[in-house]
A and B are shown apart, each in its own frame.
Chain A
């Protein structure tokens, strides 16, 4: 059970952070820190010492059809990474509290950081491939948000975008790879997959699987040539760089290599792919880092190089290679996080990260300088520090490796060369920043920072030394456990400082001296580099590629999406008509055999009026108001048709909808520009005529076909069961709130979303009041006539009473939440029209969000309540009540649902009205006249 808590605690912390931040930065840091700290304490308490018995495992099935289970496992490998993620996370939380400016409340920062931590813990603890993938994507997303922490900086946005595109694309490849892997192994449970290594390696799909999974791992771990997002991600605040882009997230790819090592490794393809990419990245990163003048840029490329080193170690495919790889994961996290933090302090104190300007800081901040120098020495692989140990193991592995045959010398040579550059950039970091003359033109005068910000650096640097001097007593146990997690056993290896004079020792010496020499000669190298190295980089290629894709997509979109509403509608109607007409073409007999109803005078008249009104709308399109009246005439006739065929519910709904939409449309039309009429080309006129005519014809034919068929309609069921099952005799309403309650819930949710969309669209939009009305007429002087204002006020309570009546009786007689909501909305609209926006708003606070949100929540809560009684979602319960005056009320739970619908509709109507009405009021030359107060 504690496994769940390890993941949940940071998540809880993430949720609490914004709340804690309201009480101050310190509280935010404490809450975030205690979330991480508790999780860490829990891990250590439960899992140490780790034996085969203390391996924890839990599993719940989630979507068994997909093989997706909530399975978590804590083995040695996971334990190593969990401790890494939580411990460094704790230090970064502390560091960020002092690093980020005082004006930052830190709520958002800690929430995102802890979200990332959750995702990272999820990756390492997942015992299900699909679950792992889920957390994998979550790290990409939270990393995106963290890099773009300062969204106003275009560099940060670009960096965030690049990293998201690259890592998410890798995530897609990984998904494909993991699906293949699960398919081959027959299960997505990691324990099963790990056990079927031979089967996987012999499968014909092994190679594509390997390739796809590696693509995912390499993008995450910034391997060449997909490394370029990492330097871009340095636009993130330094605590983020220290945490995500050196210590943890980039290690996720390496973790995946380690996790799947038993399944995928020890083949030739693995060696060449992983080893080759790792080696290239190692050399490329080490070489490029030397030429970076940006402090964080240097560290970023150095990180890439070290990740390449770890990848190479896993790529060798030997047990000792895996040991060295895991060891280096820990060491690198320790010294690189401290280096990033030191770089952050320097950036903070000097105001720049350009190493050509930052010089001689030793005089100003000797203490920080010492810390940074120790960490940089660890990075260079100086003896007595932790970096030295894993680098020695690395050199030893390259020497002992026998796979390349005659080219066996290549690997040690390349490793030594990388070591030389690694030492060179470390020396540059130390010498350029802390010595090398005086600072040049710094924005700020540097001095020693407050001692608290240095605590995390001190802790990490102390670890560098302790691990470097006493590896056996400190990390051995954890490393053994992790190695067991990967290999299933612990191969013999030695962590001693001194192995006697050996080839690896010599390589270390060569690297150290060579590095210093390269650094001394650096200016010549810079010149050569600038002159000879081609400027083409994978980054440029990537941008050219993504721009090309965007251009292609845009061209494709423009061919049918030209932002013309007419065009959209034409497509929509044409497709709908063709799809609907398709069944008619293959000889279906339209007439279903039922007797036709006699044509009566009323129907004929209604049809005629409908046709005339439709044609009139088209003819009068230039006089918008008249055209609108014509369309509302259509609506009115439809309402009457419903009445004629005894559908009071529909008639009521149609009527109220018609009223509301007409008034709201009037408000909108008011702002449309007048002026010249646009002539429509004859060709388009023909197209529109054809479209309208044919779609109308198709609908008519289909309706005819359906209505002349004498099948048993579904309505029989509703008619029979409305009372016994739904507890109401108004079938229409019972369908809405019970049988199809889920639909209705969806619809009001959509309504609420649409309302939010309208609000956002109109927010901050101010349109000038048109100077003239239609036809260059002056506006009326008397905006709110007294008689209307006077009469509308007593009308409001009456209309609300009607609305309440409709709502309460809705379950058994015509009415219901939707109609009642529209009626109430109409009554409120009337107040706006009669007395003006300001008058109404003074008396009615803007509560529409409460109304809308409350409505949707109430409806959802009603649905959820049935779960409490062990029934499916939205099961209704019925209670009969006798209320005075209103009569018998079925107090069905559907009533609460209906009230939810009611509230949402009312809120939406008011929201639209107020926001449309508000558009011109702020800027109008003459404020709308207030009706005289009636006494």
Chain B
């Protein structure tokens, strides 16, 4: 019973963050702000679901279920990188932004 509540709680937390992230993806005004939705919120959301899954399957099978840690590891490694690349691409493409672009950024990164 306690386990079920715990699992549900984590599932709800995860789903909530995912929902918020998705709403952000739709509602936020420009690309750079929208980027926060899927990267930050969704990462947390999936984290919650993974914890729920760990608890559920550990209890269910009687063995410690650690696959989810691997999933989380891969996700935490890759999600920031893709966000970073997306942001860089957007900067390069000069997509519409609610704030003006920082001026010296291109020069700093150039050789």
Contact = CB atoms under 8 A, between A and B. Distances in A.
Nearest to A781: B110
Contacts of A791: 77-78, 80-81
B74 A798 contact: yes
A929 B81 CA distance: 19
B83 to A, nearest CB: 10
A929 B111 contact: yes
Interface stretch (A448-456, A782-790, A861-869): A782-790
Interface string B89-111: 10011000000000000100111
Contacts of B88: 780, 782, 785
Nearest to A787: B84
A795 interface: yes
Contacts of A795: 77-78
A883 B87 CA distance: 45
A929 B109 CA distance: 12
Contacts of A777: 92-93
A781 B106 contact: yes
Interface SS, B side: helix
Interface residues of B, number: 16
A781 B111 contact: yes
Contact of A788 (B81, B93, B111): B81
Nearest to B110: A781
Given A777-B93, A798-B74, A782 B109 contact: yes
Q: Among the interface residues B78, B81, B111, which one has the most CB atoms of the partner chain A within 10 A? A: B81
A791 B92 CA distance: 22
A763 B40 CA distance: 45
Size category of the A interface is 10 to 19
Contacts of A794: 77
A331 B47 CA distance: 94
Contacts of A781: 106, 109-111
Nearest to B107: A781
Nearest to B82: A788
Contacts of B80: 787, 791
Contacts of B84: 785, 787-788
Contacts of A929: 111
A787 B86 CA distance: 12
B85 interface: yes
A686 B58 CA distance: 58
A659 to B, nearest CB: 13
Contacts of B89: 780
A794 B80 CA distance: 15
A743 B61 CA distance: 39
Contacts of B74: 798
Nearest to A833: B85
Contacts of A785: 84-85, 88
Given A777-B93, A781-B110, A929-B111, A788 B77 contact: no
Contacts of A780: 88-89, 92
Nearest to A801: B70
Nearest to B77: A791
Nearest to B92: A780
A792 B82 CA distance: 11
B104 to A, nearest CB: 13
B66 to A, nearest CB: 12
Nearest to A785: B88
A781 B93 CA distance: 12
Nearest to A782: B109
A191 B99 CA distance: 97
B87 to A, nearest CB: 10
Contacts of B81: 787-788, 791-792
Contacts of A792: 81
Nearest to B89: A780
B85 A788 contact: yes
Interface in A582-599: none
A780 B84 CA distance: 14
A183 B48 CA distance: 81
B106 to A, nearest CB: 7
B38 to A, nearest CB: 15
Interface in B24-54: none
Contacts of B110: 781-782
A792 B85 CA distance: 13
A782 B111 CA distance: 9
A788 B92 CA distance: 17
A929 B106 CA distance: 15
B20 to A, nearest CB: 21
Contacts of A782: 88, 109-110
Nearest to B88: A785
B109 to A, nearest CB: 5
A308 B74 CA distance: 82
A791 B81 CA distance: 7
Contacts of B78: 791, 795
A776 to B, nearest CB: 12
Contacts of B92: 777, 780
A262 B17 CA distance: 96
Contacts of B109: 781-782
B45 to A, nearest CB: 19
Nearest to A926: B111
A713 B109 CA distance: 61
Interface in A791-813: 791-792, 794-795, 798
Interface in A26-45: none
A223 B78 CA distance: 77
A785 B93 CA distance: 16
A781 B84 CA distance: 15
A798 B84 CA distance: 21
A780 B111 CA distance: 12
Given A780-B92, A785-B88, 19 more contacts: A777-B92, A777-B93, A780-B88, A780-B89, A781-B106, A781-B109, A781-B110, A781-B111, A782-B109, A782-B110, A787-B81, A788-B84, A791-B77, A791-B78, A791-B81, A794-B77, A798-B73, A798-B74, A929-B111
Interface of B: 73-74, 77-78, 80-81, 84-85, 88-89, 92-93, 106, 109-111
8 contacts: A780-B88, A780-B89, A781-B110, A788-B81, A788-B85, A791-B78, A791-B80, A791-B81
Which 6 pairs, one residue from A and one from B, show the smallest C-beta to C-beta distance? A781-B110, A782-B109, A780-B92, A791-B81, A787-B84, A788-B81
